[in-house]
Structure 1
Amino acid sequence: MLALPVLVRGINNLSDARYCAGMGAQGLIFTLDASLPGAVDAATARELAGWVAGVDLIGEFGHVAGAEINRLVEECGLTGVLLRLDPARQAWPQGLAVPALIEVPASLLINQEHYAAAIADLTAALPVGFAFFTTAPQPYPADYAYWHQLARQAPLWLAGPPDPTQAAETAQYVHPAGLILEGGDEIKPGLRDFTELEAVFEALEEA
């Protein structure tokens, strides 16, 4: 049992999908926007998802229309989406069928006025639900108490630090909605080095 929910981003191979699901990850994130680096097609996402059970399936998108996102939500059985959008542009996809994680710069969260405004805007624009996702400034996090206070205002996911101790401390002191870790590429089909991911997962089990 992990100390808090974990999503793993950039899933593009069966080794990652099965390993992360087996280690207790809550969900797997597939980049389904062809304009983004590391994208996979819908057929690949469906195939990889077919080998795991009991995990959320999340699609990652940039500036893609809501109708197209919803088509892929249905085609791939997604339970949520991760949107790489700049809140200042307010170009939110319309009519999303599932909740969204909104990737935002850490600078947005440092300014309380802008943070409050973003919460209000997203509450109106995304009635099915939303959460923020960001990377805390270095050192990570700069101030545990401050980030804990932010996490109380709106669901806040943080990019998981590769250092296991920092990941455990973030879980203990910040209490975010969860951590998002990065997947990786196979060395060759069926062969993958999980040393760094394993250390973080184990630290979260102990936290």
Structure 2
Amino acid sequence: MLALPVLVRDINNLSDARYCAGMGAQGLIFTLDANLPGAVEAATARELAGWVAGVDIIGEFGHVAGPEINRLVEECGLTGVLLRLDRARQAWPQGLAVPALVEVPAALLLNQAHYAAAVADLTAALPQGFAFFTSPPQPYPTDYAYWHSLARQAPLWLAAPTNPTEAADLAQQVHPAGLILMGGDEIKPGLRDFTELEAVFEALEEA
């Protein structure tokens, strides 16, 4: 059993889907916005999701309107969405049927006033529920107390480092809502190197 929830992003093959589900991931994230790198067809996401059980299926979107997102929620059986939005260009999608993870720049989390304003903004804009997701500055900060304080103000997911020790430290000291790992491409159909992912999963089992 993992020490905290884990999602795996950029799922595009059956090897990743089955491996990550078997290792205890809470959910799999499929990029369903055709304008984003690594996007997969809705039919592909639906097919891969059909091979796993007991995991959340999440769709990743950029500038897509609420009704279109909800159509894909229904078509693919999504339990949540990951939003990659530039607020200077477009408002939040309206009327989402499922909770949202909102990817924000790390700089936002380093400014308490801006962070508090974002919490208030999203509480009003996404009443169905939201959480933040970010990749902290590299290297990861050693002031885990600050990141822990942020995680207590609103649900906060962090991109997991590929270093297993750092991933375990985040789980133990920041106590985020969860960590998000990155999937990868198969070497060829049915063949995938899981060395890095396996190391992080095992570290989180021991955290």
What range describes the TM-score normalised by the shorter chain of this pair? over 0.9
Q: TM-score with structure 1 length normalisation? A: 0.98
Whole-angstrom distance in 2 between the partners of 1:142 and 1:64: 36
Q: How does 1:95-106 map to 2 (within 5 A)?
A: 95-106=95-106
Q: How does 1:71-150 map to 2 (within 5 A)?
A: 71-87=71-87, 91-150=91-150
Deviations 1:98-133 (A, max 9, x none): 000000000001011100000001000000000000
Tell me the secondary structure at the aligned position of residue 147 of structure 1: helix
Q: TM-score with structure 2 length normalisation? A: 0.98
Tell me which residue corresponds to 2:173: 173
Q: Gaps spanning 5+ residues in structure 2: where?
A: none
Tell me which residue corresponds to 1:70: 70
Whole-angstrom distance in 2 between the partners of 1:172 and 1:87: 33
The Cα of 1:85 is off from its aligned counterpart by 1.2
Evaluate the alpha carbon distance shift between residue 5 and residue 203 of structure 1 in structure 2; reply closer, same or farther with a 3 A threshold: same
The Cα of 1:91 is off from its aligned counterpart by 1.3
Q: Gaps spanning 5+ residues in structure 1: where?
A: none
Tell me which residue corresponds to 1:56: 56
Tell me the secondary structure at the aligned position of residue 15 of structure 1: helix
Tell me which residue corresponds to 1:26: 26
107-116 or 87-96, which deviates more: 87-96
Structure 1 stretches of at least 4 aligned residues deviating more than 6 Å after TM superposition? none
Tell me which residue corresponds to 1:8: 8
Instruction: Answer whether contact 1:45 1:76 (CA < 8 A) is retained.
Output: yes
The Cα of 1:86 is off from its aligned counterpart by 2.9
The Cα of 1:87 is off from its aligned counterpart by 4.4
Deviations 1:161-183 (A, max 9, x none): 00000000000000000000000
Tell me which residue corresponds to 1:204: 204
Whole-angstrom distance in 2 between the partners of 1:57 and 1:141: 30
Q: CA RMSD in A?
A: 0.9
Deviations 1:46-92 (A, max 9, x none): 00000000000000000100000000000000000000013455610
158-167 or 139-148, which deviates more: 139-148
Number of equivalent positions: 207
Structure 1 residue identity aligned to 2:78: L
Instruction: Answer whether contact 1:86 1:104 (CA < 8 A) is retained.
Output: no
Tell me which residue corresponds to 2:46: 46
Instruction: Answer whether contact 1:151 1:177 (CA < 8 A) is retained.
Output: yes
Deviations 1:22-66 (A, max 9, x none): 000000000000000000011000000000000000000001000
Percent identity, aligned pairs only, is 88
Tell me the secondary structure at the aligned position of residue 185 of structure 1: coil
Whole-angstrom distance in 2 between the partners of 1:86 and 1:132: 14
